[in-house]
Amino acid sequence: MTDKLVIADREFQSRLLVGTGKFASCEIMAEAIEKSGTEVVTVALRRVDIENENDDMLAAIDRDKYLLLPNTSGARDAEEAVRLSKLARAATGINWVKLEVTPDPYYLLPDPVETLKAAEILVQDGFVVLPYINADPILAKKLEDAGTATVMPLASPIGSNQGLQTRAALEIIIEQANVPVVVDAGLGLPSHAAEAMEIGADAVLVNTAIAAAADPAEMAVAFKLAVEAGRTARLSGPGAVSRRASASSPLTGFLRNK
Amino acid sequence: MIITEKGLDQHTQHWPSRLDNVTAGDVERALSRPAGTYSLEKLLALVSPAAEEYLEEMAQQARQLTIQRFGRTIRLYAPLYLSSYCINSCRYCGFNKDSKSERKRLTIDQAAAEAEIIAGEGFRDILLVTSEDKEHVGVDYLAELAGRLRGSFSSISIEVYQMSESEYAKLFAAGIEGVTLYQETYDRPAYDYYHPAGPKSDYENRLAGPDSIAAAGMREIGLGALLGLTDWCIETLALAEHAHYLMKRYWQSHVSFSFPRLRPARDVERSSFKHLLTDKNLAQMITALRLCFADAGLVLSTREGADLRNHLINLGITRLSAGSKTNPGGYSAGCDSTEQFAVDDNRSPAQVAAMIREQGFEPVWKDWDSAFGIDH
């Protein structure tokens, strides 16, 4: 299979990225990550002690197997996100960052103005930036112009499990993008993930739907399969959607005998 | 100001009769609304006597919603009491200025030493607590202490006397990111009775406190009523109206609720309080608030006993204190100064963490970072 996801010159077999919040224990998290087949695992810098190798959560993620993708969840503005990214890079050497600027503490919606500002600074400073954004096609293009490695538009508010509420805007972003589009946030079921892949997303990121499931490891398997199915379907060229032809032609039937 | 914006004074007088008139059908309608969204009517139904019959269903919904929003996690924090000198006369408090108990105030060095003990137990989230006497613990003291603690703690918050916006702003700049300020009671006559003297005796000034906290940029605002002073249903409604007002106006600050029930304290006779809550009342209050505020932090201290705390983490609680000492210097061996109130859960932090794990949750010691807010 040569169909690979490429982000900033790095190749991945899996198109499922996984988040690490909300799990009942680090062991359960580690098992779910393993079963998901993912190669990219994102970690909230607020949640871990990034300078401490023995941090419970960090220790549970095998850095030889997975790309550890720090995120700036909780940052209220560009300045905080940039500062946090630099501290993480200084402590770990990782120059990839999932940029999250979420000044609203309830829906955790991304701030477009501050996200663009932070992305410009971080790209200039040599970071590989994967920005979390609302499904805003113009913002996606501006971020691409600023040099981000992907765009990560949300499907619906984070943790809401509501699926592709932003589908119409996502389709425009996918159509216009020259960088990978990773649908992030709000995917509650494997069918949502499959739908995102079917409309042409390059990858998806899932956290709550796996972590809050009764059996996170099995749900991780289900998402793995759904992402593969959706991707395969996309590449297979789905047939056109049409209604069955009407048996009669109420408006034009009269022409038949003319 | 919440009083004018929410018409608090005009509306509260109608709440008791509205609560009595809630029907089973009203409760069922409230439970069919999307879990986690607020309206006064919905909360009124959920805290009403009629909703008592629906407590199990409320609990099921609250648990499911909390797991979806917060995951299977419980945050842990520890309080650090700095001083028991006080110029207020709150009738329910062991640090009341008229209480004959001996007073103690930690120096900044002593407080830092206590904090090291707390950090050694695994905590990264600390709550600095003091009674009201700026002579003993002033804004500069708190700012300096916060600076000393930043290396060991990822989150520092305060539960202290009310301050001005500029004082809160100074503390925010020093690395303090959250403030807890209880109204104690939203009932004016009760407020006046329980706070007969001192700066805290002004009801409206107290009510404006969270506005100053939010305006100063604080990330977390802790609200609460001291449960047992008046009818808990009415307090819950007023508390929710206050929270809703703050959330709409200060959209970048996160609101959390605490549930302090009256506890035995020195020179405070608990039997003199006519509105004490049963465990069932408390559970109804917690679940009702969760079903109206999906993302609010719900905080439970060691005022409550081990068994009840074990159960309530399944009903919407997201933060617990553990191993708490409520007397200044209490973490150091050999110090037996007066407590603010008697602690009812004496388990060690490790024991509380083990209980959380046994119940299928992860104890979270760190969920913030000192890199937020201030430049190093």
> Does the beta carbon of B314 lie under 8 angstroms from any beta carbon of chain A?
no
Closest CA to A159 of B71, B298, B368: B71
Considering CB atoms only, which of A22, A47, A104 is closest to B252?
A: A104
Give the confidence band of A1 by pLDDT, cuts at 50, 70, 90.
Answer: low
- Pairing mode of beta strands B362-364, B125-130: unpaired
Provide, as residue numbers in chain A, all residues whose Cβ is less than 8 Å from the Cβ of B295.
105-107
pTM of the full predicted structure? 0.85
Query: For A209, phi and psi rounded to 5 degrees?
Result: -60, -30
Arithmetic mean of pLDDT, B349-360: 95
> Which band of pLDDT confidence, cut at 50, 70 and 90, is reported for residue B335?
low
pLDDT higher than 70, residue B62: yes
Q: Bridge-partner residues for B73, per DSSP? A: B362
Chain A partners within 8 Å of B357 (Cβ): 25
Cα–Cα distance, B11 to B186 (Å, whole number): 12
Interval B65-79: pLDDT, tens: 999 999 999 999 999
Q: Which residue has the tokens 């608030």?
A: B289
Confidence of residue B102 (pLDDT cuts 50, 70, 90): confident
Look at residue A246 in the predicted model and tell me its pLDDT: 60
C-beta of residue B115 within 8 angstroms of C-beta of residue B126 = yes
d(CA B370, nearest CA chain A) in Å? 9
Using one digit for the tens of pLDDT, what is the confidence trace for B290-324?
Answer: 999 999 999 999 999 999 999 999 999 999 999 99
CB-based contact, B344 to chain A, within 8 Å: no
* Phi, psi (degrees; rounded to nearest 5) at A135: -80, 75
C-alpha to C-alpha distances, B41 to B20, B49, B78, nearest whole angstrom: 13, 14, 36
Residue A187 CB-half CA count within 13 A:
33
Give SS3 for A212: coil
pLDDT confidence bin for B87, thresholds 50/70/90 = confident
Candidate from A239-243, B167-171, B364-368 with smallest mean pLDDT = A239-243
Q: Given this model, what pLDDT does residue B125 score? A: 94
Residue B254 contacts A, CB cutoff 8 Å:
yes
The SS3 of residue B364 is strand
Return mean pLDDT, chain A. 90
Query: Residues 109-138, chain A: which have Cβ within 8 Å of B?
Result: none
* Direct distance between the N- and C-terminal alpha carbons of chain B, in angstroms, rounded to an integer: 36
| φ, ψ for residue B299, nearest 5 deg | -115, 135
- Could you read off the pLDDT of B195-236 as tens digits, one per residue? 998 899 999 999 999 999 999 999 999 999 999 999 999 999
Q: What DSSP string describes B102-150?
A: ---B--HHHHHHHHHHHHHTT--EEEEEE-S-TTTS-HHHHHHHHHHHT
> pLDDT value at position B8?
79
pLDDT, tens digit, 9 for 90 and up, residues A81-132: 999 999 889 888 899 999 999 998 888 899 999 999 999 999 999 999 999 9
Strand ranges in A72-199 using DSSP code E only, listed in sequence order: 96-99, 128-133, 152-153, 182-184
pLDDT value of position A92: 85
Contact A171/B at CB under 8 A? no
Q: How many CA atoms lie within 13 A of B221 on its CB side?
A: 30
Amino acid at the residue B171: L
- Give A194's pLDDT tier (boundaries 50, 70, 90): very high
Q: What is the pLDDT of residue B375?
A: 56
Higher pLDDT, B112 or A48: B112
Binned at pLDDT 50, 70 and 90, residue A240 comes out as low
Q: What is the radius of gyration, based on Cα positions, of chain A?
A: 20
- In this predicted structure, what is the pLDDT of residue B109? 95
Share of chain A above pLDDT 90, in %: 67
B157: CB partners within 8 A, 6+ apart: B77, B125, B126, B127, B128, B176, B177, B178, B179, B180, B220, B222
CA–CA separation, B179 and B168 (whole Å): 9
The predicted-structure confidence for A146-167, as pLDDT tens digits, reads as follows 999 999 999 998 888 899 999 9
Instruction: Say if the Cβ atoms of B252 and A80 lie within 8 Å.
Output: no
**ipTM value of the model?**
0.70
With a pLDDT cut of 70, the percent of chain A lying above it is 93
Is residue B95 very low, low, confident or very high in pLDDT (cuts 50, 70, 90)?
confident
Long-range contacts formed by B9-12: CB under 8 A, 24+ apart: B9/B188, B12/B186, B12/B187, B12/B234, B12/B237, B12/B238
- In chain A, residues with a C-beta closer than 8 Å to the C-beta of B368 are 46, 74
pLDDT at A238 over 90: no
CB contacts, 8 Å: A23 with chain B: 71-73, 362
Walk me through the domains of chain A, giving residue ranges and CATH numbers.
5-238 (3.20.20.70)
Are B366 and A80 a contacting pair at CB < 8 A?
Answer: no
Has residue B268 got a pLDDT over 70?
no
Between CA A68 and CA B274 the distance in angstroms is 56
Q: Please judge whether B219 and A103 are an interchain contact, meaning their C-beta atoms are less than 8 angstroms apart.
A: no
Contact A25, A56 (CB under 8 A): no
Across the range A8-37, mean pLDDT stands at: 93
Chain B residues with CB under 8 Å of A49 CB are 124, 154, 366
Beta-carbon separation of B371 and A45 below 8 A: yes
Stretch A240-251: mean pLDDT, rounded? 65
Tens digits of residue pLDDT in B15-44: 999 999 999 999 999 999 889 999 999 999
**In this complex, is the C-beta atom of A209 within 8 Å of any C-beta atom belonging to chain B?**
no
Q: Does B162 touch chain A (CB under 8 A)?
A: no
Mean pLDDT over residues A68-93, rounded?
91
B372, two tokens:
């937020």
Minimal-distance CA residue of chain B relative to A87: B371
Residue with tokens 């919440």: B2
- Please name the residues between 45 and 64 in chain A that touch chain B, using a CB distance below 8 Å: 45-49
What fold is seen in the domain B2-266+275-364?
TIM Barrel (3.20.20)
Put simply, whether A86 touches B (Cβ < 8 Å) is: no
Annotated active-site positions of A, please?
98
Nearest of B141, B144, B170, B146 to residue B157 by alpha carbon: B146
Kindly determine whether residue B372 and residue A208, on different chains, have CB atoms separated by under 8 Å.
Answer: no
Identify the residue among A80, A101, A102, A189 best suited for mutation to test binding to B, counting B beta carbons within 10 A and taking the highest: A80
pLDDT at B376: 47
Residues in chain A with CB shorter than 8 Å from the CB of B369 are 45-46, 74, 84
The mean predicted confidence, pLDDT, of chain B is 91
- Residue A165 in contact with partner chain B when CB distance is under 8 A: no
Q: Is A83 on the interface with B (CB under 8 A)?
A: yes
Distance (Å, rounded) from C-alpha B235 to C-alpha B227? 8
Q: Residue A46: list chain B partners with CB under 8 A.
A: 154, 366-369, 372
pLDDT for the residue numbered B116: 95
CA A128 to mean position of chain CA atoms: 15
